Structures are given as structure tokens and as C-alpha cells.
């Protein structure tokens, strides 16, 4: 506790600055608009693009296990995956542009892209 | 480039003993920390960063880098994660942490206490990890969304680590 009292002003400024910076970045993330499609990446290659306006369930083969994705009310979530920590499942549903779900053990990333879903051909192009 | 210290000069033997001692201590904390379950990927205390922080205060940049990387290598060897993605992330994070802490020290000891230096190091650690993960493993900007959460944590874990390191430095009578 003696150390906390002896912390100098720049120390506090650094800590508070860092907290404010992270809160601003979080707030900025919240203001992003909802996106219309989800891009599923395995590594750095696009596996498929999912239309978020149609509720459905998708099963995608990740690196170590199949991953079950659920689309509901314009949002997407990972509902099942066999990875050890299940961080992707706990991440919950995402729907705003730029938001993402990442499952490192499966090398899988899902992120929301803005714009309307334009069909399979758009994904290929 | 050596930092002035309160002990009179740094004997070669002193360096030869303190550097491995700090690396070993850091590695032990590193291994113990990896055994604590992490509720969130970014909620790590980073306690083993105490070792390079102390090395930076006693010696200087090269020694701190050595301690920082040695503890990752030794820790990786013991926890069986040598050269795994987690190891590479730790390696880059540790290097960046030492560099940012060094930058903090250059600002002056009268302006910044070890707590501020440690907070800088924690922030540098996280930013470097996100960049490395983005470049090598995920290959996508989506990873950036996690950074605010990591930085928020870093402000507190960094300060905690800084307080402990400060206490150790004072008890070792290495700084005033």
C-alpha cells in the first residue's frame, strides 16, 4: 500500500490514460453498424460467407474439430466446438461490423462484414 | 547505456549470478502461472514480468532482454510449449515489454516509478502479442477487437506487477 501512495503523477496518468483508451476503443466498437454477412476464415482463407438474415445452423470443419455456428436474428454465434477452453462458445453472439469470434485451436475466425449478402458467387470473386 | 545503480559498479560475477537467478525465478513464475486456469484469454497476470523489470533496473536493456527471453525459453521447455504458437507470442510480447519498459525508464526515474514502467511494459506486451498473432496465426484484423480488453486488464496487472517489483528492488537495496 505504501507503494500506491508513493506512485508519481505520471504513473497515475499512464494507468488512467490506458484505461480511458481501452474504454474509448470498446465504446467505439459498440457504435459500429450491424453487418449483413459473416465471413468464416480457416487460417487466412475464406471458407464461406454466411447470410445473417436467414436463421440457420452451419457445421464447419475446423482444424481439430467440427464447429457448429448458429445464425439467429441477424447475429451469429458458435454453439459447439471441441476446443479445450471453449472461448469461441463463451464469446456469444456477434452482429456488428468488424466483430469477430475466433477459435485459435481450430484456426477458425468468423467476422462480420458490412453490406448485403450477395450469394455464393460473390464469395468466390 | 547502462543505468546508474546504487551499488558501486557492477562486478562481472554479480552479473553472472544475478542474471541466471532472475531468469530462473521468472521461469518458475512463468510455469506456475501457466497452471492457473485462465477464465479469459487476456486475463493473465504476467507476474513473470517481474524478472526482466528488475533486470532492467539493476543492469540495463541487453540484460533485461536476456532475462525476459530466457524465462520464456526455460518456461517453455518445462511447460512443454517450446516453439508452440503460445511460445512465439510470449517471445514477441516479452521483447516488446522490455523495450517499452526501457523507453519508460528513459523518461527518467524521478518522473516514473517502477509501477508506471511496468504498466508501459504490460501494454507493450499485449500490443505486440496482438500484432504477432495477427501476422502469423490469424491473419485477420478481427483480432484487434480483443485489444481494448487486453489493455484494460494491462493497466491493473501491470500496476500490480510493478508494485511487487518495486518492493523487491527496495528490499534488495538496489534502488533508493
- Domain CATH code at residue A80: 2.60.320.10
CB-based contact B115 A43, cutoff 8 Å: no
**Residue B110: pLDDT above 90?**
no
To probe the interface with A, which of B118, B120, B135, B152 has the most A CB atoms within 10 Å?
B152
pLDDT band at A67 (very low <50, low <70, confident <90, very high): very high
- Of the given ranges (A63-72, B9-18, B64-73), which has the lowest mean pLDDT? B9-18
Nearest CA to CA, how far is B87 from chain A (Å)? Answer: 14
Question: What local confidence, expressed as pLDDT, does residue B22 receive?
Answer: 93
Phi, psi of B91 (to 5 degrees): -65, -50
- Within 8 A by CB and 6+ apart from B62, the residues are none
Question: What local confidence, expressed as pLDDT, does residue B6 receive?
Answer: 46
Assess if residue A63 is contained within a domain.
yes
Nearest CA to CA, how far is A49 from chain B (Å)? Answer: 15
- DSSP state for residue A96 in the 8-state scheme: B
Tell me what the mean pLDDT of segment A103-112 comes to: 88
Picking from A21, A43, A100, the nearest residue to B145 by CB comes out as: A100
Question: What local confidence, expressed as pLDDT, does residue B9 receive?
Answer: 56
Check residues B45 and B93 and name the one with the higher pLDDT.
B93
B176 is written with which cell numbers? 533508493
Q: Quick one: closest CA in B to A91, which residue?
A: B40
Nearest CA to CA, how far is A55 from chain B (Å)? Answer: 23
Assess if residue A16 is contained within a domain.
no
Question: What local confidence, expressed as pLDDT, does residue B21 receive?
Answer: 93
Tell me what the mean pLDDT of segment A36-50 comes to: 87
A69 is written with which cell numbers? 455456428
Nearest CA to CA, how far is B123 from chain A (Å)? Answer: 8
Q: List residues in chain A touching B: CB distance below 8 A.
A: 3-4, 6-8, 10-11, 14-15, 18-19, 21-23, 25-26, 29, 41, 43-44, 85, 87, 98-100, 102, 104, 107, 109, 111
Tell me what the mean pLDDT of segment B140-153 comes to: 78
**Residue A90: pLDDT above 90?**
no
pLDDT band at A3 (very low <50, low <70, confident <90, very high): confident
Work out how many CB contacts closer than 8 A connect A with B.
96
- Of the given ranges (A113-117, A118-122, B40-44, B126-130), which has the lowest mean pLDDT? A118-122
Question: What local confidence, expressed as pLDDT, does residue A120 receive?
Answer: 53
pLDDT band at A78 (very low <50, low <70, confident <90, very high): very high
Nearest CA to CA, how far is B3 from chain A (Å)? Answer: 20
Check residues A63 and B144 and name the one with the higher pLDDT.
A63
Question: What local confidence, expressed as pLDDT, does residue B10 receive?
Answer: 58
The rounded mean pLDDT for chain A is 85
Tell me what the mean pLDDT of segment A106-124 comes to: 71
Write down the pTM of the prediction.
0.74
CB-based contact B155 A19, cutoff 8 Å: yes
- DSSP state for residue B175 in the 8-state scheme: -
Q: Cβ of B176: how many Cβ atoms within 10 Å?
A: 7
pLDDT digits (tens, 9 = 90+) for B8-21: 455 678 888 889 99
Picking from A15, A25, A104, the nearest residue to B147 by CB comes out as: A25
Judge if ipTM > 0.85. Answer: no
Assess if residue A25 is contained within a domain.
no
Write out the residue range of the structural domain in which residue A62 sits. 37-113
A18 contact residues in B (CB cutoff 8 A): 119, 123, 151-152, 154-155, 158
pLDDT band at B123 (very low <50, low <70, confident <90, very high): very high
The rounded mean pLDDT for chain B is 86
Helix (H/G/I), strand (E/B), else coil: A39? strand
Assess if residue A6 is contained within a domain.
no
Domain count, chain A: 1
Nearest to A96 by CA among A13, A15, A27, A20: A27
B116 contact residues in A (CB cutoff 8 A): 7-8, 10-11, 14-15
Assess if residue A89 is contained within a domain.
yes
Q: Quick one: closest CA in A to B164, which residue?
A: A3
Assess if residue A51 is contained within a domain.
yes
Assess if residue A105 is contained within a domain.
yes
β-pair partners for A37: A51, A113
Q: Quick one: closest CA in B to A45, which residue?
A: B139
DSSP track, A58-119: EEEE-SSSEEEEEEETTEEEEEE---SS-HHHHT--B-BTT-EEEETTTTEEEEEE-S----
- Of the given ranges (A83-97, B136-150, B153-167), which has the lowest mean pLDDT? B136-150
Amino acid at each position: 500500500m505504501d507503494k500506491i501512495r508513493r506512485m508519481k503523477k505520471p504513473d497515475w496518468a499512464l494507468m488512467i490514460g490506458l484505461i480511458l483508451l481501452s474504454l474509448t476503443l470498446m465504446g467505439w466498437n459498440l457504435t459500429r453498424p450491424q453487418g449483413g454477412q459473416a465471413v468464416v476464415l480457416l487460417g487466412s482463407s475464406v471458407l464461406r460467407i454466411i447470410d445473417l438474415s436467414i436463421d440457420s445452423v452451419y457445421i464447419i470443419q475446423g482444424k481439430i474439430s467440427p464447429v457448429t455456428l448458429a445464425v439467429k436474428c441477424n447475429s451469429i454465434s458458435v454453439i459447439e466446438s471441441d476446443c479445450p477452453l471453449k472461448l469461441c462458445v463463451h464469446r456469444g453472439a456477434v452482429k456488428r461490423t468488424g466483430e469477430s469470434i475466433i477459435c485459435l485451436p481450430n484456426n477458425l475466425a468468423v467476422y462480420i462484414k458490412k453490406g448485403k449478402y450477395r450469394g455464393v458467387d460473390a464469395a468466390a470473386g | 547505456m547502462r543505468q546508474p545503480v546504487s551499488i558501486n559498479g557492477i562486478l562481472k560475477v554479480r552479473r553472472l549470478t544475478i542474471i541466471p537467478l532472475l531468469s530462473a525465478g521468472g521461469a518458475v513464475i512463468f510455469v506456475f502461472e501457466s497452471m492457473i486456469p485462465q477464465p479469459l484469454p487476456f486475463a493473465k497476470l504476467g507476474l513473470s514480468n517481474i524478472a526482466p523489470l528488475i533486470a532492467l533496473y539493476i543492469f540495463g536493456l541487453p540484460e533485461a532482454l536476456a532475462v525476459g527471453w530466457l524465462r520464456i525459453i526455460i518456461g517453455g521447455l518445462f511447460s512443454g510449449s517450446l516453439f508452440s504458437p503460445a511460445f512465439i507470442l510470449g517471445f514477441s510480447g516479452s521483447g516488446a515489454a522490455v523495450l517499452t519498459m526501457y523507453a519508460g525508464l528513459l523518461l527518467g526515474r524521478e518522473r516514473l516509478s517502477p509501477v508506471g514502467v511496468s504498466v508501459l511494459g504490460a501494454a507493450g506486451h499485449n500490443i505486440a502479442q496482438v500484432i504477432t498473432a495477427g501476422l502469423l496465426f490469424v491473419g485477420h484484423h478481427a483480432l484487434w477487437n480483443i485489444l481494448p480488453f487486453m489493455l484494460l486488464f494491462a493497466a491493473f496487472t501491470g500496476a500490480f506487477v510493478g508494485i511487487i517489483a518495486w518492493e523487491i528492488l527496495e528490499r534488495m537495496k538496489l534502488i533508493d
